[in-house]
Structure 1
Amino acid sequence: MTPIIVGLTGGIGSGKTTVANFFKDLGVPVYIADTEAKALMNRSKIIKRKLVQLFGDQAYIDASLNKPFIASQIFNNKALLQQMNAIVHPKVAKHFANWVKKQESDYVISEAAIIFENGSYKKYDVIITVVAPEDVRLKRVVKRDDSSSEKVKAIMKNQWSDKQKTELSDFVITNVNLEGTRHQVGKIHAKILNSATNH
């Protein structure tokens, strides 16, 4: 039986990883797309070759992805970002499909930041969006990434608004305090398991 595929998303600083970990605690297999994408960018010879063609030799240092350089290149360059995603995303999608086949669970979660922005949201059976007030998200990211609020705001501007995302989501988790978030995760978990039984 194919498991239900759940997409877990949310804007920067909303707390997707925290929510993903709560689902993991309940025994749900979770695929972190960003982590897997970075691993593939370091591992796949095809991706490496194409990224060097796109960004030049500085894309890698000692065979490892030069993350600060790539980030600086795509920061305000949408076309370059799209070209990079066109190289990486299909490989990640293939890797995810193979991963799903190995899971023995009623449902699995793919945690990914831009499923609405890149149109991949249509591929999921269920979508959960994590939201939090913008000022809370801003504080979290500035603290976490040691980043400037201007930089974080620029990233936010490139992402869909919470309103746009929630209108296309099956479930919305408001992540302001941990206990409340954990409680919401538990309720959604029960609902998805219930629909899996009737799947």
Structure 2
Amino acid sequence: MPKIIGLTGGIGSGKSTVAKFIEEMGFPVYYSDVRAKEIVNDDELLKKGIIELLGAKAYDENGLYDRKYVAEIVFNDEELLQKLNGMIHPAVKYDFEKWVGNQTTEFVFKETALLFELKLNESCFKSVLVTADDNLRLKRVMDRDGKTYREVENVMNKQMPEKDKIKIADFVIFNNDGMDELQAETENVIRQIEKLNE
């Protein structure tokens, strides 16, 4: 079985870019957040549960998960959000385990925004955090998603503070500079992880 490396980072940190560099180095990456978006549409049992919890409007007229509608309902309702996550996370966990079973590399990477929040790092060989200066992250997300300062700040405030993540992570990649520096730092961290397994 391959060893699992957790890869995480807050919104606008550059986590997805680092994941692409890792794939270019020949390591498979499981994109938890992307898969979760697919599973809510593909898993009929999960779909049924979500409709029971949030009503038929959770899916649009084409039968697709209505993320905007769901986000509006659960964003300020902690109990409802926990119930929803309590359905989605086990489905993603099962999907991930199936995926790992099909991999043949020494390491696989599990990319997820909530690695530390959900304590998923406890089942990983090592964890890698991608982080950047808060103001830089804010600017990136505003530019990328066309969101307001306040909207991005609200999302950031709901995530675990970066300083707390830095304390827990085994490796930290600081993404304050350009692409070349980010790639070099990513490669350096991967080499360190490989050495641990020699």
- TM-score, with structure 1 as normaliser: 0.95
Question: Following the alignment from structure 1 to structure 2, what is the Cα–Cα distance between the partners of residues 73 and 119?
Answer: 25
Structure 1 window deviating more from structure 2 (8-17 vs 116-125): it is 116-125
Cα deviation, residue 41, structure 1:
0.2
Matches within 5 A, 1:16-35: 16-35=15-34
Q: Quick check: 1:33–1:92 contact (8 Å CA) kept in 2?
A: yes
> Which amino acid in 2 is paired with 1:65?
Y
> Which amino acid in 2 is paired with 1:74?
V
What are the Cα deviations for residues 119-159 of structure 1, in whole angstroms up to 9, with x where unaligned?
A: 22211110000110011100111122211111111111111
Q: Quick check: 1:10–1:16 contact (8 Å CA) kept in 2?
A: yes
Structure 2 counterpart of 1:189 = 190
> Which amino acid in 2 is paired with 1:12?
I
Structure 2 counterpart of 1:156 = 156
Cα deviation, residue 82, structure 1:
1.1
The residue matched to 2:197 in structure 1 has which SS? helix
The answer for unaligned runs of 5 or more in structure 1 is none
Question: Following the alignment from structure 1 to structure 2, what is the Cα–Cα distance between the partners of residues 63 and 52?
Answer: 11
> Which amino acid in 1 is paired with 2:190?
H
The residue matched to 2:16 in structure 1 has which SS? helix
Question: Following the alignment from structure 1 to structure 2, what is the Cα–Cα distance between the partners of residues 18 and 140?
Answer: 13
Structure 1 counterpart of 2:83 = 83
Structure 1 window deviating more from structure 2 (175-184 vs 39-48): it is 175-184
Q: Quick check: 1:4–1:196 contact (8 Å CA) kept in 2?
A: no
> Which amino acid in 2 is paired with 1:51?
I
Cα deviation, residue 188, structure 1:
1.2
The answer for unaligned runs of 5 or more in structure 2 is none
Q: Quick check: 1:11–1:156 contact (8 Å CA) kept in 2?
A: yes
Give the superposed CA RMSD: 1.0
Question: Following the alignment from structure 1 to structure 2, what is the Cα–Cα distance between the partners of residues 81 and 16?
Answer: 24
Structure 2 counterpart of 1:116 = 116
Cα deviation, residue 97, structure 1:
0.7
Q: Quick check: 1:132–1:174 contact (8 Å CA) kept in 2?
A: yes
- TM-score, with structure 2 as normaliser: 0.96
Question: Following the alignment from structure 1 to structure 2, what is the Cα–Cα distance between the partners of residues 143 and 71?
Answer: 21
Question: Following the alignment from structure 1 to structure 2, what is the Cα–Cα distance between the partners of residues 120 and 82?
Answer: 16
Aligned residues: percent identity? 35
